[in-house]
Amino acid sequence: GQQLRALFYALAPGESSFRTVEEVPDYVEKSIPFFITFIGLEFAVSWIQKRKLPGRINDGISSLSLGILSRLPDVLFRSIELISYIYVWNNYRLFELPWDSPWTWYLTLLGVDFAYYCFHRLSHEVNILWAAHQVHHSSEDYNLFTALRQSVLQKYTSWMFNLPMALLIPPSVFAVHLQFNLLYQFWIHTEVITKLGPLEWILNTPSHHRVHHGRNPYCIDKNYGGTLIIWDRIFGTFEAEDAKVVYGLTHPVNSFDPIMLQLRPLAHIWNTFWATPGFFNKLSVIFKGPGWGPGKPRLGLPEEIPVVTGKEVPFNPRVPAYLNCYALVHFAVIVDLYIELLASVTMLSQGTVLMRIGFIILSLASFGLLMENKSKAGILEIIRCLVFIGVYKLGYFRSRFSFLGYAYEV
């Protein structure tokens, strides 16, 4: 019950206050079964409501692949958000709010959410931050899979926004709210919930967040809130849902390859940087908006945003049905290996952990190319399967379910 309520930020201060960081549960990892349950529920409700599924296999696998990729660095080392926060707390704190006070709990809720608003807004307004964040916006579907589509690089820029809180708020309280703020944003990525009445005034809701994910001109750079929508109302970035939202980037990336989706925007900035004349213009390529160009305002020109007709067709290469089934089955195997890795990482050697991570990355890249029907996909997939058989036979991989061992070899 507690774990389910954590998804909706519905735990009381008394239930979720801890003296030390070590005592704080990993709410995100424990929510994985609920993610799966709610995704199943969304599919059922969407089918009942509209007689259609809320997404596509290729886009769903792409979103989950990006979600797994984004969590892999945490397998190797503690999150930079906590390391930096604890460092500031230990060395520079001004005074210490009581960890077990409800006032501290509510203040941290507001602090974490405001820091998220600031970071999220800058992620859309500063090109180098957008290069990381755009991964989350790259899906042309809008469903609970999209919530899990995360950037590997984003956490390496977001951590600094939380540091002012480390001057007075204990790390254990911060560690709880950092997770709750993230978890709350899972359920708002859906089209099956329409409007939520008076709650729309205070909370970020599916309706508000659909606007944020839209590429319609009225949706651009709006509704940055995490849990609360009050920051957008205060700072003038709020926009209510109006015309039907068309999802994705203003210039779609047209790819399901998770490695490419993570890295291509950085390559684009690199190329633009060298192609732009003048030192200050080069700096502007990095630190002004993604729509900026010489002679334009900081965030670019609104009239250059492509018009949305409502007839946009999402990127959806034709792939034989058997190939979709193949990718789905093999992706399930990788999810099993990933969950097993999370469960056993403390007992494995560094070499084994790195090998498993490398194999997971190889697999996710291969599935992306398969679903794009790329010519090289078949060769990469044969290599991947041979590698799998080799390392499985040598005992470097284990399934959480022993009865699957024989099936995997087949």
User: Could you please report the per-residue DSSP string of 317-330?
Assistant: ----HHHHHHHHHH
pLDDT at 397: 75
The model's pLDDT over 170-182, given as tens digits with 9 standing for 90+, comes to 999 999 999 999 9
From 61, 314, 52, 294, select the one nearest 191 (Cα to Cα): 52
Least confident of 19-33, 110-124, 209-223: 19-33
> Which region, left, alpha or beta, applies to residue 273 given φ > 0 means left and ψ of -120 to 50 means alpha?
alpha
Q: Are 186 and 7 in contact (CB under 8 A)?
A: yes
d(Cα 292, Cα 126) in Å, to the nearest integer? 10
From 186, 203, 261, select the one nearest 33 (Cα to Cα): 186
Q: Are 288 and 298 in contact (CB under 8 A)?
A: yes
Query: What is the pLDDT confidence band of residue 53, given thresholds at 50, 70 and 90?
Result: confident
Report, as an integer, the average pLDDT of 54-77: 93
| pTM for the predicted model, two decimal places | 0.94
pLDDT at 394: 80
Percent of the chain residues past pLDDT 70, beyond the cut: 97
- Is the model's pLDDT at 323 over the cut of 90? yes
The model's pLDDT over 359-402, given as tens digits with 9 standing for 90+, comes to 999 999 999 999 999 988 999 999 999 998 888 888 777 776 66
The model's pLDDT over 269-292, given as tens digits with 9 standing for 90+, comes to 999 999 999 999 999 999 999 999
